[in-house]
Structure 1
């Protein structure tokens, strides 16, 4: 096995070096000469990533697979000349993929997908992998680390990269053409629509894993930075070399989990737009949008609210989730039909602040979700709002009406201060959290500079 692995890696490195030299001279499109030899090498390396016994083999196979995907993309967009459409989507049908998906897959192929002799994964195998990561993310299980756990973490990161490489160009092309079939046939959408997998369970495991790893890594970083924390007070696993690798791989897992969730949110948005245009059929199925699942999880378990808001770094979707969370507990607009149901005019962060900036509405929302939750949601929502506003101003990037409409930055700052004043009026003994104090300070600074 070691000799075969060494020979495989050496051959592949030579091939990749040759491909890179060609690509540097072409300056146009990726090298797409896919051969059966290349596919066999990919599959062999993927098996090493899944079932390798050493960190060196696992890490090397992970790096080689990512390099192969860069050299041999399965899906990419190509500029067109003299055409009505600026881009053309190229799908390399013969390209190797780590997934066994689709309705035309035989039962024998599905049965072999998760066999130790075959490295490929189906939707059920992908969910089982994520379930394993969710179990490891539990603080009580952090001590039970082994090479297999680290292998699964890198495996998950690679699979998400593969899903991203397939989905992003498809979704970008969908925005240009409004052809829903492009997204429907993506690997990610096929996984989400698979009847072999519990979709809601998969999404809940995403939230659990993201919060678990994020909380552990944050606590570890705080422990390292604190001079008062002795080594005896730190988790025992931190003293081991295995746990050092776990910390690095844990950050990769958090990044991959966030990337996966953002892609699912984008799929939901594209599907909603396609449904508004009448392009969705029964074959697409019906599933609860991830944003609603996240809101339910945060409402059900308030203990994960702070970790989730801390580790969920995507400002666009964080703001959207926070706004929807508030509107879930506020008065609803009149009922409209499914396809005519666009976003309400005030369904924005500024609109939320306006609605809860009087004593009666503040009291009502506080009873439903609690003052502590309001502090966290408003502080993180305000931070995301400012980041999006800055990005829009500096890079001249348009931000959706649902996220930014309903008031200027100064008006939003004033309304934020007004809401916290209402909270203080309701409870004189209320202790303002540190993140809320920071938000109020920033808002007051912005307002004072504009006066």
Structure 2
């Protein structure tokens, strides 16, 4: 008890000392606002992160950092705040799995879920009863972002994807993208340990309390629109900005050490903006992934009788995505190229092609305990004869079918062998030990039968690449 009192007193002392640095710009328009804010951020870093056992920042300190990031007129402040907030989340997570005092997610199934209920959050979880909808996403607001504010951020990204030039100053657009990245980072950090705990211990209550579940269940937004907007941003914004391997957790923006005039700011924005867009796209994908994983766990909870009427009913995100891809088939290629989670991509493609199969193939379960079916087997069953192929091509289009086949191969090549084996039920019948060899044979066979249905069919570059890759794999394994 005495130790906790001393720690609390120490935290209050750090809070008073660091927040005192901000008084200069809180009381008047100081010419040293930028420097004072940077000094405050450095003070928090040196107090909480640099020491091996530094105390966590107080809620007021976290609120101050978040407020600075949202109202900053400096690219440097936006980036420093974002990086500091992410570092603090890593050092002092609100939710984590632990065996004792270890805050790293362990491999042991005996890990316990630890949740700090009183920890500061940038997202207003109890916002369904709030009365003011418009201030939450505005620059300079001291309130946490609620479900409406988060959706407004996503809609701003939609506008950016729909316009060659935004009507807003580029710095403000960048600030909104960084804010969106941070919120998605928080959603993911909150969801992953809860979902791991659910999969191991069937603890649906903790998963139900996750931020992303509260976001999707909010009565103040339509989660279907949220999903559609996410899909739109991922498809359209990625056309001009192809995503690279970058992690939302470790976004780094290159900026000059000193920005003291408009030309330096313009130069810094020119350097940082494309990379920020790429990382924002990665954040949009992370959001979709988390929502899909939640749906999968929710389905498992339903089968185990863990859900109640209070949980309500939701159309799975995968089905919403399939509906949009069915409505606008031009979205298929950009979406599958931008969405690079192989397991979920495979799930989407398999369900999509089954939807248009003339005679849907009933996939058999490998065991009574298995949650998934032989997805790859079911997919290639649709390409066994010309009748089913003609029916699919008529409804989907020959170009879309080629894209789907190529993306299936790409996804399967990224899935570990052990996991891939679970998706193939007829591997033993084929006499093959390598699942990838089995898939490559089916890819070549599918393209061959596709060509047989239309001798004038032009194989797209992505189809030729898939055929070349499949043939290379077979030749290397022979």
Q: Same fold (TM over 0.5)?
A: yes
C-alpha separation between the residues in 2 aligned to 1:129 and 1:215? 20
TM-score normalized by the length of structure 2? 0.78
Aligned with 1:66 (options 86, 90, 93):
86
TM-score normalized by the length of structure 1? 0.83
Please report how far the alpha carbon of residue 375 of structure 1 lies from its aligned counterpart in structure 2 after TM superposition: 0.4
Aligned partners of 1:89 and 1:169 also within 8 Å? yes
C-alpha separation between the residues in 2 aligned to 1:71 and 1:195? 33
C-alpha separation between the residues in 1 aligned to 2:215 and 2:334? 27
Query: Tell me, what secondary structure is at the counterpart of 1:208?
Result: helix
Do structure 1's residue 7 and structure 2's residue 36 form an aligned pair? Answer: yes
Please report how far the alpha carbon of residue 112 of structure 1 lies from its aligned counterpart in structure 2 after TM superposition: 6.5
Aligned partners of 2:242 and 2:278 also within 8 Å? no
Query: Tell me, what secondary structure is at the counterpart of 1:363?
Result: helix
Please report how far the alpha carbon of residue 55 of structure 1 lies from its aligned counterpart in structure 2 after TM superposition: 1.6
Please report how far the alpha carbon of residue 246 of structure 1 lies from its aligned counterpart in structure 2 after TM superposition: 2.0
Aligned partners of 1:358 and 1:419 also within 8 Å? no
Query: Tell me, what secondary structure is at the counterpart of 1:352?
Result: helix
Aligned partners of 2:137 and 2:150 also within 8 Å? no
RMSD (Å), alpha carbons: 3.0
C-alpha separation between the residues in 2 aligned to 1:411 and 1:382? 11
Structure of higher RCO (CA pairs closer than 8 Å, 6+ residues apart): 1
Aligned with 1:46 (options 59, 66, 77):
66
> Which residue does 2:95 correspond to in 1?
75
Do structure 1's residue 130 and structure 2's residue 154 form an aligned pair? Answer: yes
Distance 1:285 1:300, change over 3 A: same
**Greater share of helix:** 1
Query: Gaps spanning 5+ residues in structure 2: where?
Result: 1-24, 102-107, 245-265, 428-434
Aligned with 1:207 (options 231, 234, 246):
231
Distance 1:383 1:112, change over 3 A: closer
Residues 18-50 of structure 1, C-alpha deviation per residue, up to 9 Å, x if partnerless?
433443xx6xxxx6x556xx2112112212222
Do structure 1's residue 167 and structure 2's residue 191 form an aligned pair? Answer: yes
Please report how far the alpha carbon of residue 260 of structure 1 lies from its aligned counterpart in structure 2 after TM superposition: 1.0
Aligned with 1:305 (options 332, 343, 348):
332
Query: Gaps spanning 5+ residues in structure 1: where?
Result: 221-238
> Which residue does 1:228 correspond to in 2?
none
Please report how far the alpha carbon of residue 344 of structure 1 lies from its aligned counterpart in structure 2 after TM superposition: 7.9
C-alpha separation between the residues in 2 aligned to 1:152 and 1:272? 34
Aligned partners of 1:20 and 1:71 also within 8 Å? yes
Query: Tell me, what secondary structure is at the counterpart of 2:114?
Result: strand
Do structure 1's residue 182 and structure 2's residue 206 form an aligned pair? Answer: yes
Do structure 1's residue 413 and structure 2's residue 440 form an aligned pair? Answer: yes
Residues 29-81 of structure 1, C-alpha deviation per residue, up to 9 Å, x if partnerless?
xx6x556xx21121122122222222222222212211221222111111149
C-alpha separation between the residues in 1 aligned to 2:353 and 2:475? 28
Aligned with 2:241 (options 190, 209, 217):
217
C-alpha separation between the residues in 1 aligned to 2:168 and 2:409? 39
Query: Tell me, what secondary structure is at the counterpart of 1:137?
Result: helix
Distance 1:431 1:139, change over 3 A: farther
> Which residue does 2:253 correspond to in 1?
none
